[in-house]
Amino acid sequence: MKKFTKETYINWYKDMLFWRKFEDKLAALYIQQKVRGFLHLYNGQEAVLAGALHAMNENDKMITAYRNHVQPIGLGVDPKKIMAELLGKVTGTSKGMGGSMHIFSPEHNFYGGHGIVGGQIPLGAGLAFADKYFERDGVTLTYFGDGAARQGSLHETFNMAINWKLPVVFICENNGYAMGTSVERTANHDEIWKLGLGYEMPCGPVDGMNPMKVAEAMHEAIERARRGDGPTLLDIKTYRYRGHSMSDAQKYRTKDEVDEYKKIDPINQVLDIILDKKYATEDEVKEWDKAVKDKVSECQKFAEESPFPEKQQLYDMVYEQEDYPFLKHR
């Protein structure tokens, strides 16, 4: 595995802080009704992505559910285009027609962004099957939440993936709540990683608030898949500081509970290492913070100044046939 160097920690801090502030800006734009529909934010879960990116290589893919704004940023998608997509602008990743829950960029190995709970799980195995079939050196990281772990399609997918030794890593991004229902209330036990035992699939829990722990577990699972030994189930225990979506009143948990998890904020954990090891001064950190703030502002400016799509676009993206005989609309 790649070593954790000075540059690793500095880049983690800058990246995770940018993802956090990017999501905060989207929350503000949602309140202003500039982002419409549902909005699911990633605040608190940044270490899960940071650790994964450290372990991935350029051939590996990622697919996830609808909390999906920052993953493509980590994979190299221009954040301006992602913010434009959330504002429904033609300069967005899907020309404004995907919105918050359907960010997509196959050229950056990011395959969504899926609004159907658990719908991405079999699709992730399908991507892995394609890599195995065509003998490509790629592993697919398939993310889902603790609520989606109760879907029947998960078991069908697990059975096929382990039977065919597909190069896939199944990652339960376990933030403790399926919308407002705690993990304890959705099954007979609260250890989601144990779902892998019935398939004799390598599995285990991971500290999802620590990017180093995530990277180590991801590396082991990814390399297992890459050498042909099949899938792994990682139960990455994390926490979201905001609600399930912007419409969540969060009556199922207390402020004290949220505050306890903020004591182990992954961004602060990395910052503490940077300062303790004297990788940077406090003045340098302030400069990074300002650069992040400026970068988020640039994204907002680009998104707000971009035009909305023309109505004709509704017809341009339905069929490949350019002269399809649509009925004229009123």
Mean pLDDT by 10 residues, the chain (330 residues): 97 98 98 96 98 97 98 98 98 96 96 95 98 96 97 97 98 96 91 97 98 98 98 98 96 96 98 98 98 98 97 82 74
Domain positions in the chain = 6-316
- Does this model's pTM top 0.85? My answer is yes
**Residue 329: its pLDDT value, please?**
64
**Residue 322: its pLDDT value, please?**
77
Fold of 6-316: Rossmann fold (3.40.50)
In three state form, how does the secondary structure of the chain look? CCCCCHHHHHHHHHHHHHHHHHHHHHHHHHHCCCCCCCCCCCCCCHHHHHHHHHHCCCCCEEECCCCCCHHHHHCCCCHHHHHHHHCCCCCCCCCCCCCCCCCCEHHHCECCCCCCCCCHHHHHHHHHHHHHHCCCCCCEEEEEECCHHHCHHHHHHHHHHHHCCCCEEEEEEECCEECCEEHHHCCCCCCHHHHHHHHCCCEEEEECCCHHHHHHHHHHHHHHHHCCCCCEEEEEECCCCCCCCCCCCCCCCCHHHHHHHHCCCHHHHHHHHHHHCCCCCHHHHHHHHHHHHHHHHHHHHHHHHCCCCCCCHHHHCCCCCCCCCCCCCC
